[in-house]
Amino acid sequence: MIFGPQVCGSLAVDAGGGREWLVTDGLGGYASGTVSGLRTRREHALLTVSDHVGLVSLDLTVTLPSGTKVALGTHRWEAGATDPAGHRHLETFALVDGLPRWRWRIGDVVVERELAMRHGHHCLAVVDRVVSAPAPVGLAVAAMCTWRTTHSTRRAAHAPLTVEQVSGGAVIDRAYRLHGPGWQPAGLWHLGVRTGDDIEDLWHAGTFSRQVEAGGMCEISAWAGDLAAEPPAPSVVVAAERERAHRLITLAKTEGYAATLALAADRFIVRAADGPDVVSGYPGNGRYLADTMAAYEGLFLDTGRVDEGRELLIARTRAATRAMRVPAGPWLRHDALDAPLWLVHAVDRHVTRTGDGDLANRLAAPLGRLLRHHLGGTGPLTIDPADGLLRLSPATAPDVETPRAGKPVEINALWVNALAAMCDLLAETGRDDTEPRTRHTLAHASFRSRFPAPEGWLYDVVEGPAAIYPLGAGTHHDDPSLRPHQLLAWSLPHAPMRGHAANAVRAAGESLLTPLGLRTLAPAEYGYQPRQPAGLDIAHHQGTVWTWLIGPYADACVAAGLPVEGLLTGLDAHLSEAGLGSLGETAHGDAPHRAAGPPFSARSVAEVLRVKRRYE
Q: Is 157 exposed, middle or buried (0-12, 13-18, 19+ CB in 10 A)?
A: exposed
Instruction: Give the residue from 244, 261, 289 where a domain finishes.
Output: 244
Comparison of pLDDT for 403 and 80, the residue scoring more: 80
pLDDT for 333 equals 47
3-state class percentages of the chain: helix first, strand second, coil last, to nearest 5: 35, 30, 35
* Cα(616)–Cα(612) distance, integer angstroms: 5
Interval 182-207 mean pLDDT:
95
* Cα(139)–Cα(213) distance, integer angstroms: 10
pLDDT for 326 equals 61
Amino acid letter, 318: R
Instruction: Give the residue from 214, 244, 274 where a domain finishes.
Output: 244
Residue 583, pLDDT > 60, answer yes
Query: Same domain for 335 and 203?
Result: no
pLDDT above 70 covers what percent of the chain? Answer: 93
Comparison of pLDDT for 468 and 558, the residue scoring more: 558
- What SS3 state is found at 614? helix
Q: Across all residues in the chain, what is the average pLDDT?
A: 92
Interval 365-374 mean pLDDT:
92
**pLDDT per residue over 273-324, tens digit each?**
889 999 999 997 788 999 999 999 999 999 999 999 999 999 999 998 887 7
Closest CA to 603 of 551, 559, 556, 567: 551
Region label for 200, one of left (φ > 0), alpha (ψ between -120 and 50) or beta (otherwise): beta
Domain CATH code at residue 100: 2.70.98
**pLDDT per residue over 505-559, tens digit each?**
999 999 999 999 999 999 998 888 888 665 555 557 889 999 999 999 999 999 9
Query: Same domain for 233 and 323?
Result: no
Q: With residue 131 as reference, give the H or E element that holds it.
A: strand 123-132
Interval 437-463 mean pLDDT:
95
Residue 475, pLDDT > 70, answer no
Residue 117, pLDDT > 80, answer yes
Domain range for 218: 2-244
Query: Same domain for 225 and 291?
Result: no
Comparison of pLDDT for 337 and 602, the residue scoring more: 602
Residue 397, pLDDT > 50, answer no
Instruction: Give the residue from 187, 210, 244 where a domain finishes.
Output: 244
Residue 401, pLDDT > 50, answer no
Domain CATH code at residue 423: 1.50.10.10
**pLDDT per residue over 330-364, tens digit each?**
444 444 789 999 999 999 999 999 999 999 999 99
pLDDT for 533 equals 63
The gap between the terminal CA atoms of the chain, to the nearest Å, is 22
Query: Same domain for 208 and 79?
Result: yes
**pLDDT per residue over 212-260, tens digit each?**
999 999 999 999 999 999 999 999 999 999 999 999 999 999 999 999 9
Query: Same domain for 233 and 338?
Result: no
Query: Same domain for 475 and 530?
Result: yes
Residue 614, pLDDT > 50, answer yes
pLDDT for 464 equals 86
Interval 397-418 mean pLDDT:
78
Comparison of pLDDT for 523 and 404, the residue scoring more: 523
Beta pairing class for 269-272 and 169-172: unpaired
pLDDT for 332 equals 41
Query: Same domain for 558 and 489?
Result: yes
Predicted confidence band of residue 414 (pLDDT cuts 50, 70, 90): very high
pLDDT for 465 equals 75
Domain count, the chain: 2
Query: Same domain for 230 and 305?
Result: no
Predicted confidence band of residue 398 (pLDDT cuts 50, 70, 90): very low
**pLDDT per residue over 82-100, tens digit each?**
999 999 999 999 999 999 9
Residue 473, pLDDT > 50, answer no
> DSSP states of 321-374 as a string?
HHHTTSTT-GGGSGGGTTHHHHHHHHHHHHHHHH--HHHHHHHHHHHHHHHHHH
Query: Same domain for 240 and 273?
Result: no
Interacting residues of 566 by C-beta distance below 8 A, sequence separation 6+ = none
Query: Same domain for 34 and 181?
Result: yes
pLDDT above 90 covers what percent of the chain? Answer: 81
Interval 192-207 mean pLDDT:
95
Burial 375-413 (b: 16+ CB within 10 A, else e): beeebbbebeeebbbbbbebebbeebebbbbbbbbbbbb
- What SS3 state is found at 476? strand
Query: Same domain for 222 and 342?
Result: no
Interval 379-398 mean pLDDT:
81
**pLDDT per residue over 211-223, tens digit each?**
999 999 999 999 9
> DSSP states of 250-286 as a string?
HHHT--HHHHHHHHHHHTTEEEETTEEEE--EETT--
Q: What does the CA dihedral 287, 291, 293, 298 come to, rounded to 10 degrees?
A: -110
pLDDT for 466 equals 62
Query: Same domain for 200 and 320?
Result: no
Interacting residues of 191 by C-beta distance below 8 A, sequence separation 6+ = 78, 156, 201
**pLDDT per residue over 131-164, tens digit each?**
999 999 999 999 999 999 999 999 999 878 999 9
Comparison of pLDDT for 376 and 256, the residue scoring more: 256
- Chain CA centroid to CA 284, Å: 9
Predicted confidence band of residue 396 (pLDDT cuts 50, 70, 90): low
pLDDT for 536 equals 52
**pLDDT per residue over 427-441, tens digit each?**
988 887 788 899 999
Interval 104-128 mean pLDDT:
98
pLDDT for 325 equals 66
